[in-house]
Amino acid sequence: MMTKKRIAVDMDEVMADSIARFQEWYGRDFQLELTLEALHGKSAADAVAPEHQPALRAYPNAVGFFRDLPVIKDSQRVLQELAQRYEIFIATAAMEFPNSFLDKYQWLQRHFAFIPWPNYVFCGDKSIINADYLIDDNAYNFDNFRGEGLLFNAPHNAHETRYRRVHSWQEIAEILL
């Protein structure tokens, strides 16, 4: 029997557009715009004035931050195709933000109902993930990962050069399908 290879997929900025929420809340709280240019090579908190940074660092642990996030383009279609050929697990570093647990769980149920909940992993250190591929926007998650990392392009990781970069779900489809 051929066993399927396994792909682990990060949520934020890979499946869910959390930058959109940072932009929305930053505009709401400070009447300022958080541009993609400002986010180049930086986390959202590091991209704003020092006096606004504590607020932005706190956003992801506010209940509701992860609720109703927009879905990243093509992620549903490509993951549905990948699920025919691979085992798909969701691996999100939710432990950093305990108030995000239910939002993330419900978001997955709503937008990726074809991935069953036994395949959700809320973790911290992703070296615990036993998979062949990890698609993630944070390169440090690949450092002790046993499989192959695919770095999902995001403004903050612009300067990262150590891992294979993918720019879209369409590009992932071309590599893995």
Verify binding: residue 41, its own copies, rule CB under 8 A: no
- Site membership for its own copies, residue 129 (CB under 8 A): yes
The count of C-alpha atoms lying within 13 angstroms of the C-alpha of 9, restricted to the half-sphere facing its C-beta, is 26
Smallest separation (angstroms) from its own copies to the CB of 131: 7
- Contact flag: residue 140 with its own copies (CB under 8 A): no
Nearest-angstrom CA–CA distance, 133 and 79: 13
Rg of the chain in Å (alpha carbons): 16
Q: CA 114 to CA 97: how far, in whole Å?
A: 25
- CA dist., res. 171 & res. 7, Å (int): 15
* Residue 151 to residue 20: CA distance in whole angstroms: 20
d(CA 78, CA 64): 27
Residue 63 tokens, joined = 């209940």
SS3 156: helix
Q: What pairing do the DSSP bridges indicate for beta strands 6-9 and 87-92?
A: parallel
Check if 143 is active-site: no
Given 26, 59, 89, 169, the residue binding its own copies (CB under 8 A): 89
Q: Name which of 22 and 120 has its Cβ closer to its own copies.
A: 120
Residue 53 or 99: the one with the smaller Cβ distance to its own copies is 99
**Binding-residue pattern over the window 91 to 120 for its own copies, x denoting contact by CB under 8 A:** x--xxx-xx-xx--x----------xxxxx
# residues contacting its own copies (CB under 8 A): 28
Query: Contact between 77 and its own copies (CB under 8 A)?
Result: no
The length of the chain in residues reads 177
10 is catalytic: yes
Closer by beta carbon to its own copies, 146 or else 167: 146
CB closer to its own copies, 41 vs 116: 116
Residues catalogued as catalytic? 10, 12
Please report, as ranges, the residues that interact with its own copies according to CB under 8 A.
6, 8, 89, 91, 94-96, 98-99, 101-102, 105, 116-125, 127-131, 146
